[in-house]
Amino acid sequence: MPDKVYNALFICTGNSARSVLAEGLLNGLGKGRFKAYSAGSHPKGEVHPMALATLEKLGMPATGYRSKSWDEFTQSGAPVFDFIFTVCDNAAGEVCPIWPGKPTSAHWGVPDPAAVEGSDEAKAKAFQDAAVTLKRRIDLLLSLPLERLDAMSLQRELRGIGKA
């Protein structure tokens, strides 16, 4: 099914930095093959301005994001996900909701750029580093022959990407 659009959800605790970066990168790089979303187990309520600046610097859409709870995606009418990715270690250790459709999941942990202290340059570098790591993983995801992989092979590939 080459015309299938895959839905992916990136989860972090606060949904203000890493998960938003991943959402923007996959939507931009996926060229319509993917529709990415992001959410948090305990959302901060606002997107970190450096996450948006980093997306803009990378030529990705930098508007329309908001920090939201993963509960939003358990409601009737929410998208059914093909993939769920945790991008922070805290979220990976939490008990996640039961997602309809049995999506393939993987942990793609990235250090929290919002936790970096110091100069604006140091903070910007942390956001850039997180985005580069996520972009490399998303590029690997996009190179997979998704329609030809069985569920176990796909799970193994996605988990391997998270260690890349």
Would residue 44 show up in a list of annotated catalytic residues for this protein? no
CA distance 38 to 12: 8
pLDDT at 63: 94
pTM: 0.93
Burial of 140 per CB tally in 10 Å (0-12, 13-18, 19+)? middle
Phi, psi of 39 (to 5 degrees): -160, 165
CB < 8 Å & 24+ apart, contacts of 88-94: 88/12, 88/13, 88/18, 88/19, 88/112, 90/12, 90/13, 90/41, 91/11, 91/12, 91/13, 91/40, 91/41, 94/13, 94/41
Q: How far apart are CA 79 and CA 159, in angstroms?
A: 23
Looking at 53, 58, 78, 96, which residue is catalytic?
A: 96
Write down the pLDDT at residue 6. 96
**What is residue 94's predicted lDDT score, i.e. its pLDDT?**
63
**154 annotated active-site:** no
Smallest CA-to-CA distance from 18 within 106, 100, 85 is with: 85
**In sequence order, what are the beta bridge partners of 36?**
8
pLDDT tens across the length of the chain (164 residues): 457 899 999 999 999 999 999 999 999 999 999 999 999 999 999 999 999 999 999 999 999 999 999 999 988 899 999 999 999 877 556 667 778 888 999 999 999 999 999 999 999 999 999 999 999 999 999 999 988 888 889 989 999 999 87
Return d(Cα 84, Cα 96) in angstroms, integer.
Answer: 10
Catalytic residue (one of 88, 138, 141, 146): 88
- Cα 27 to its chain centre, rounded Å, is 10
Q: Which residue among 11, 12, 36, 52 is the active-site one?
A: 12
- 96 flagged as catalytic: yes
Q: Angle at Cα 16 formed by Cα 11 and Cα 21, nearest 5°?
A: 70
